[in-house]
Structure 1
Amino acid sequence: MSTNKKAYIAGGCFWGMEDLFRVRPGIIDTEVGYIGGDNEHPTYRNHPGHAEGIEITYDPNVTSFKHILDYFFRIHNPTTVDQQGNDMGSSYRSAIFFQNDEEKAEAEEVISIVNNSQRWDGEVVTTLEPYSKFWPAEPEHQDYLLRKPDGYTCHYERFDQPFI
């Protein structure tokens, strides 16, 4: 029986987030898609209200939800509303999609730690949203930067040291 868990986050263009998370210790799988929006069966061209998100499957014996969030806050700017790099709009919002009260409490705790660190110039604007259905993106968006290593990304490690 698998003990793997899933986490759902959004922090701008899903290509860059997936590329950085895929190689983290304890990460079993990543999939990009759409979450938190208004329509069923969203597509890249039609996903009103959905964020470009990532589904992370992880081994809780190797990493934790809090450690995933710690890294999340180091690879994108959580202080900009609906924007990462050149990408603007609610599709590119910073969001954590919690699946239960424990994840919500852990997300609130990590946000507090990040804010108290004062490493970012502003306050975290990452939204905490209840998990809704995750819709996988089209095949051409999966593993995009593996197939196109020179493709666009605005994600990189901004801080070497963890927050937690």
Structure 2
Amino acid sequence: MTTETATFGGGCFWCIEAAMKELDGVESVTSGYAGGHVENPTYEQVCSGDTGHAEVVQVEYDTAVLGYEDLLKVFFTVHDPTQLNRQGPDVGTQYRSAIFTHDDDQQELAEAFIAELEAENAYDDDIVTEVEPLETFYEAEAYHQDYYEKNPNDTYCTFHAQPKIEKVREKFASKP
């Protein structure tokens, strides 16, 4: 088994984490922070919008089962890449749409994928998703990990994570 890592920011990490965990081939998903200028930021610091970080998920996946392009398809299905610095009720640069690449191949694939979506006019508005090399990933606090699994009846999860999970189950192969 060959495992690779992908890092995505598309609003609240609880929602993206829960959606990605539905996919066959995903070994683990870790919520965290990337793209900022403060070392070892806390959730409170990131929420202030002053650290420059985005809430992200880091996805470890088996390349024999799932390709990077598959993850891109899911990512662009479960969030709105045309919203600048927001997703749903979450507003601020920490909720921006971003892909943090781990190598040149991911950078090229992500940029080509976005260009293809734009060429197809897949969205009514322009895609604002940032694509940049990952410098540092900081794992979020323990209470953020597996948040949806631990809190499925949380109102935020019911209204925001659950529809993303259902969309993944409907459109992509899901775990039994």
Paired with 1:68 and 1:101, the residues of 2 have a C-alpha distance of 16
Q: What is the number of residues matched between the two proteins?
A: 160
Q: What are the equivalent positions in structure 2 for 1:1-164 lying under 5 Å apart?
A: 3-47=2-46, 48-151=51-154, 152-153=156-157, 154-155=160-161, 156=164, 157=167
2:37 maps to amino acid: D
2:5·2:102 contact (CA, 8 Å) conserved in 1? no
Alpha carbons of structure 1 residues 87 and 26: separation in structure 2 relative to 1, 3 Å: same
2:6 maps to amino acid: A
Paired with 2:141 and 2:107, the residues of 1 have a C-alpha distance of 29
RMSD: 1.6
SS in 2 for 1:25: coil
Paired with 2:126 and 2:153, the residues of 1 have a C-alpha distance of 32
How big is each residue's C-alpha offset from its partner over 1:39-58, in whole Å with a ceiling of 9 and x where there is no partner?
11111001310000000000
Query: What fraction of aligned residue pairs are identical, expressed as a percent?
Result: 36
Once the two structures are TM-superposed, the CA of residue 119 in structure 1 deviates from its matched residue by 3.2
Paired with 1:150 and 1:109, the residues of 2 have a C-alpha distance of 38
Where does structure 1 lack aligned partners over 5 or more consecutive residues? none
Where does structure 2 lack aligned partners over 5 or more consecutive residues? none
Q: With structure 1 as the length reference, what TM-score do the two structures score?
A: 0.92
Q: With structure 2 as the length reference, what TM-score do the two structures score?
A: 0.86
Paired with 1:147 and 1:120, the residues of 2 have a C-alpha distance of 33
Deviates more, 1:15-24 or 1:110-119: 110-119
Structure with the largest fraction of helix: 2
Once the two structures are TM-superposed, the CA of residue 116 in structure 1 deviates from its matched residue by 2.7
Once the two structures are TM-superposed, the CA of residue 109 in structure 1 deviates from its matched residue by 1.2
Paired with 1:5 and 1:111, the residues of 2 have a C-alpha distance of 21
